[in-house]
Chain A
């Protein structure tokens, strides 16, 4: 695999034609531009251009207090923003040495696994659409809506959730949230099963995806791939299992792996991950029964904003509120790398702190950015229609790609 195809088309007699796939193209699901040279339907070479929605989050983050960086992380992978939020909170907690109560960890796992399911719903359902099967999409998207309703009960918003705070959650899960959650885990398995039976052995779908864009484990590791697409090649690297965070070590779950890293394996791995996420949520719900129901954040008044009614009526709360907002609490002068298993792979936060209220430097290791760089090289020799479904199955989210 030549590592960087260079686009050259100076020859007016050339048989090849140039195709601009993107930046706005219905099949790319985001702002991606690929300038392809094609010979008939076959791609000869391609160049990816990214950065269309670059918003300089790393620069902005250097000027914001820690607790105001959470909304920036929402806008990375906006299909599963709770995972990004939690990853950021856990990074800061690691920096500050905050240990969260078990109940907070379990609630976080519920929210993160819901986010993973919703992300995989989007990816797999849309992969179906791109191969010409709209039915699966219509079944599945409704259930993403149900997940969003649970977010709404927990934090009030749906897509860019800004869920949780440093040290825990801003409010406890209410009974409606739990009722909706139980309804979801009771109803979703049936739908997922139906979705799988629609696709897994569907002749058209299998012919369309099997062997398309197959990647070897060596290539995948060479390109620093992580997440479901790496596991589809057979490498069982999952941050949740390898470096457990948020009490994942208390849970029993499998890390599904695929066989040959093609689009079909990625599809199967994502489906299986949804089953594992459901298992995790069920276990978390069972574990929550044994935890005190009123704990939803760690006892860290120096970093956890007090409720407003206390700020107005309570001297101590007012002092802490002032200190947090004005950034008068010293933080360790050190650096920390923390990573979580995002829906697309290892989402890392490299935070260098100088003891102030905002990071000296914050770098996001964004899985989409790193996964996507293989797209143009691997598209060589591929049919254009295969390149489209390859992009769907990579599940590159423009927000995470460009940061």
Chain B
């Protein structure tokens, strides 16, 4: 089947979700929409199970942190419809202090580690996740290192002081 044009895809989503899903743009031809966490599972379910769309493949879940925004943390889903070779990107922005979003493991088992990684690095709590633990960082870490306020290097390191280098 041929690739679904972005306008048609957006129309189908709008028919079902009306104002709850808004268009962000189509950077490099990839339709990007934004929704709220209340609709995210409904939207993913619709995209996955709709006979014409069939976005059965979850490519990736990740997050992004914008410290200046009111809603600081964005969760980004990439879905892929293998039958029509169409991709879509879905974003959900969450306000700081209430970084909760329902888990996508109810739809894809593969979301498990992707969400654990997102939790590990951004502190996003995926409600209903079967095993939300840190995955790459050590268990007793307290910070969420991919957030922008986390420095690249430990400011307390003593081995990189200027006087070691004669400065």
Contact = CB atoms under 8 A, between A and B. Distances in A.
A243 B82 CA distance: 11
Contact of B114 (A56, A225, A370): A370
B166 to A, nearest CB: 25
A350 B28 CA distance: 12
B27 A335 contact: yes
B59 interface: yes
Interface residues of A, number: 43
Interface string A310-354: 000000000000000000000000111101000000101010100
Contact of A224 (B25, B64, B110, B145): B110
B62 A370 contact: no
Nearest to B24: A335
B60 A348 contact: yes
A221 interface: yes
B152 A337 contact: no
Given A51-B137, A54-B136, A361-B64, A59 B145 contact: yes
Contacts of A363: 60, 62
A302 interface: no
Contacts of A237: 57, 82
Nearest to B138: A51
Contacts of A60: 152
A51 B110 contact: no
A50 B121 CA distance: 15
B146 A58 contact: yes
Contact of A370 (B27, B113, B130, B152): B113
Interface in A205-250: 221-225, 235, 237, 242-243
A63 B76 CA distance: 21
Given A223-B109, A365-B59, A50 B78 contact: no
A60 B151 CA distance: 10
A363 B146 CA distance: 11
A3 B112 contact: yes
Most buried by A among B58, B87, B110, B117: B110
A3 B105 CA distance: 9
Interface in B100-148: 105, 108-114, 117, 121, 130-131, 134-138, 145-146
B57 A224 contact: yes
A25 interface: no
A1 B30 CA distance: 34
A373 interface: yes
A110 to B, nearest CB: 26
Interface residues of B, number: 40
B107 to A, nearest CB: 9
B146 A222 contact: no
B13 interface: no
Contacts of B111: 224
A140 interface: no
A51 B58 contact: no
A182 interface: no
A107 interface: no
Interface string B57-92: 111101011000000000010100010010101000
A380 to B, nearest CB: 14
Interface in A358-399: 360-361, 363, 365, 369-370, 373-374, 377
B4 interface: no
Contact of A59 (B25, B114, B130, B146): B146
A269 interface: no
A360 to B, nearest CB: 8
A242 B85 contact: yes
Contact of A336 (B27, B58, B138): B27
Contacts of A51: 134-138
B56 interface: yes
A402 interface: yes
A4 B131 contact: yes
B133 to A, nearest CB: 10
Contacts of B76: 350
A94 B28 contact: yes
A56 B121 CA distance: 10
| The 5 A-B residue pairs with the shortest CB-CB distance in the complex, in nearest-first order | A224-B110, A51-B136, A373-B113, A54-B136, A223-B110
Interface of A: 1, 3-4, 6, 50-51, 54, 56, 58-60, 62-63, 94, 221-225, 235, 237, 242-243, 334-337, 339, 346, 348, 350, 352, 360-361, 363, 365, 369-370, 373-374, 377, 402-403
6 contacts: A51-B136, A223-B109, A224-B114, A337-B87, A360-B64, A370-B113
Given A337-B78, A339-B59, 8 more contacts: A1-B109, A3-B105, A63-B152, A334-B25, A336-B27, A369-B113, A369-B117, A370-B114
